Each structure stands twice: as C-alpha cells, then as structure tokens.
Amino acid sequence: MSRKAWSLLFVIFLICVTAMTVPAQPPPPEGVSVRELGPIQPHWVFLISPAGVDSEEATKVEVIDGDSLQFLGMLTGGVLGTAAVSPDHRFIYMADTFYSRGARGVRTDVVTTYDARRLAPVREVIIPPKRQQTIPPDSSALALTPDGRLLLVANLTPATSMTVVDLGSNKVLGEIETPGCTGILISGPRRFESLCGDGTMISIDFNDSGRMTASQRMARPFFDPEKDPVFSVPAVLGHTAYFVSYHAMVYPVDWSVEPPKAGTPWSMLTDAQRREGWRPGGYQPLAGYAPGNLFYVLMHRGGQWSHKQAGIEVWVYSAQHRRRVDRIVLPRPGTDLYVTRDSDPRLFVVSLPELNGPPTPTALQSFSTRTGRYLGVLDQLPGFPLWMFGAP
C-alpha cells in the first residue's frame, strides 16, 4: 500500500473516531406551548354540551370559529352548567354545580370567571347551592346586565329566585324571588322579565345592591299556556320580544314599558302549511337578528307534542311585515339555531345524532344568512350541545 493510501486510511480512521466520540448535535428544539386565542371574532360561537351519552357530571362549553369551522378549545364545568360572555369580550362566566365525590357528596355551586383568551379560570365565587338544573341550559338561566357588572343566576328548588353576583367585587349581593315565574330575560340596565305559569310576564327592577326595587306584572296573560305554550326564550328585536308557540303563533311583547305590553298575535303559517303539519321545534328553535328585524325558526312537520323534534328547514320571518321572507333547507336536521349579530351574519345549526338511518356525528352547520347558502360543517363535536350563544 502506498504512502498516499495509508494517509487516506488514517484520515478516514480519524473521521470515524471523531464521529464516535463527539455527540451528535440534537435537532433544534421544537417549541412547545399552550395556545392562546386572539380576540373573540363576530362569527365565533359557544356551544353548551351539558353531558355525554353516559355522563352528566362535566358540562362542556365548546368554542368554535364559525368562519374556519375550527374547534378552538373548551371549558369544563360541572353538572348542567351554563355560560355567558362579558360585554367587553374579556371573560367567559360559567355557573356550575359540583359534588365533592363526583355524583355524590357535598354540593357546591360556583360562578367561575375564565380568561377568554386563555380559556383558563381566573377567579370564582361560591353561590347558594340551588342553581336551576334543566335541559336545555338556555340563556334565561344565566344573564349579564348590559354593563357587564352584575350576573344573575336562576335558582329552582323548585321555588324560583335569582342570585345576583357583583362581578367587580366577586361577591354574591343577594337574591330576588320570583314566585311562580321563571327565566331571566334582560330588558334594561337593571331590569329583567320572567314568564309566569299563568301566561303573564313580570318586570323586575333591581339595584346595584342586588335587591328588587319594583315589580309589575301584566294584568292579563299574553298567551294561553294550556292551549298554546310559547317557547321560553324569545327573539328580541329592539324593544320587542317575539315569542313563538308550539302551534306556530307569534306573540310580540313590548317590554320598553312596565308592565310589558302584549302586541297582536299572528300566525307563522298559511292554511296550507298548517295542513302539512309544519311546526317550530328543537331545544333552541328561535333566533333573532335585530339589525334586519328578522327572526329565524327551526321547522319540522309533526303532530302535537313534537315541539322538541329536530327541524328540517329554517324559516325566516320579517317581524315588521309579519310574513316569511326566506326558507333554508338543512342538509341535516337540527335542534339548535343561532344567528350572529354582525353585518354579514352567519346562521349556525347544531345537528345531534339520529337513531334511525346511518350513524351521524354531532355537527355544526354554517350558512350565510344573506343568501341562505350552506357554507360547511364541523363534525365530531364533543357531547350533545343543546344551546348556543355568541359574544354580546
């Protein structure tokens, strides 16, 4: 072997030894972190899923970007929790019930404040352990005053009352009793309305101390609960609340005055539509779009007592003209409906699994309200979302 060859071998030997003795350079570290969200956008939507198929101990609040139809994150609460977003969009409030041993033990009811960007709890206040436990967890069970300073939580023992929480000092201020009447429908800076079992509505004024200062009840019912009950949560357009009934009547109530003043009821249906059996239905069958003076209703064809049946179409009504102005056929039947409040609004519809037919995942469908065009769907939503809301 020539000298040159030996030199080459020596160099190769050196390289090998070096490779064995010098540790390999690790790849640059992959950044890990916990994601934070940006500011809440007009088409974000929040879904409350009070439970899964076989569990009811941990309510989920699912945060979804309705533009990209991406799942952004979630909150985990307790038994039949409810939630709302602060007017400044900085916080999400969730009212929950927990038991110290899961399904048993000491009951604690609590309002938790979450940072809206981190979806993480920042503080909590213990409230009296008598929160209303109902399905669906609708928006009349938890309400913020328009200035975002006070939070009202509905109680049911089954006597009815509202716990008032001061969000500034994070303290329970007091309790307002509403015997025979349920629901918190905010109608003024320090006023809410409740529906009563006899078909009347009561206005309740309260102060910064969380105490009732006045109440006025309608002299006469504005609907007949025996013959044609209304769904509990109205579409609010301006100062008028539009209630829709099991039999597709519209009951307007002007709540700019005390007590609230009932308007003239009108039917959503033509005679032909009535013969075809069209009715409103679902867990959240009604949504309003105040800028357009419109309301949206999930409609199905069914008989009496089909008021929780999923809708196959969304019918759009002009409150001013008292007539239907649009009709959107749903790719999948839906039980919850929500319309965003911006100038280019989206209509969202939640579809729950059906037993008959091929298995379908829980899904959120999106539509443009301007054109009625179907924009897409987000599948595999966790749990069974039964109520939807957006940021005020």
Partner 1 sequence: MDALVERVTRTVAMRTSRRGILGMLGKLIAGAMVLPLLPVERVSARANTAEAAEEGDPLSCDYWRYCGFDGSLCGCCGGSTTQCPPGTMMSPTSWVGSCKHPIDGKDYMIGYRDCCGKDQCGRCFCQNNKGDMPLYRTQLDNGVTWCFGTASFVVNCTTAVKLGLKS
Residues making contact with partner 1 (CB under 8 A) = 49-57, 79-80, 97, 99, 102-104, 107, 132-136, 140, 156-160, 179-183, 194-197, 225-226, 229-232, 283, 302, 305-310, 335, 352-356, 383-384, 386
Least distance in angstroms from the C-beta of 21 to partner 1: 60
Cβ closer to partner 1: 42 or 225? 225
By C-beta, is 157 or 256 nearer to partner 1? 157
Neighbours of 7 (CB within 10 A): 10
Shortest spacing between CB 251 and partner 1, in angstroms: 13
- Tokens for 244, please give them: 């829709």
Q: How far is Cα 318 from Cα 297, in angstroms, rounded to an integer?
A: 12
Angstrom distance (rounded) from CA 151 to CA 156: 17
Of residues 187 and 369, the one with the C-beta less far from partner 1: 187
Please state the closest distance from residue 52 (CB atom) to partner 1, in A. 6
Q: Which is nearer to partner 1, 240 or 309 (CB)?
A: 309
Nearer to partner 1, 112 or 132 (CB): 132
- Which residue lies nearer to partner 1 by CB, 49 or 369? 49
Distance CA 128, CA 126 (A): 7
Select 54 or 271, whichever has its Cβ closest to partner 1: 54
For 164, 173, 227, 244, 378, the CA distances from 284, given in Å and listed in that order, are 25, 31, 21, 11, 19
Of residues 163, 197, 165, the one with CA closest to residue 181: 197
Indicate the pairing of strand 160-166 with strand 150-156. Answer: antiparallel
Tokens representing 388?
A: 């939807």
Question: C-beta of 50: minimal distance to partner 1 in Å?
Answer: 6
- Token pair of 304, please? 């009496």
Q: Report the C-alpha gap between 144 and 165 in whole angstroms.
A: 10
Least Å distance between CB 197 and partner 1?
5
257 token code pair: 């005055």
**Least distance to partner 1, CB of residue 59, Å:** 10
Quick one: tokens of 60? Answer: 């989920």
* CA 84 – CA 82 distance, rounded (Å): 7
Structure tokens at 38: 């940006």
CB of 145 to partner 1, least distance (A): 22
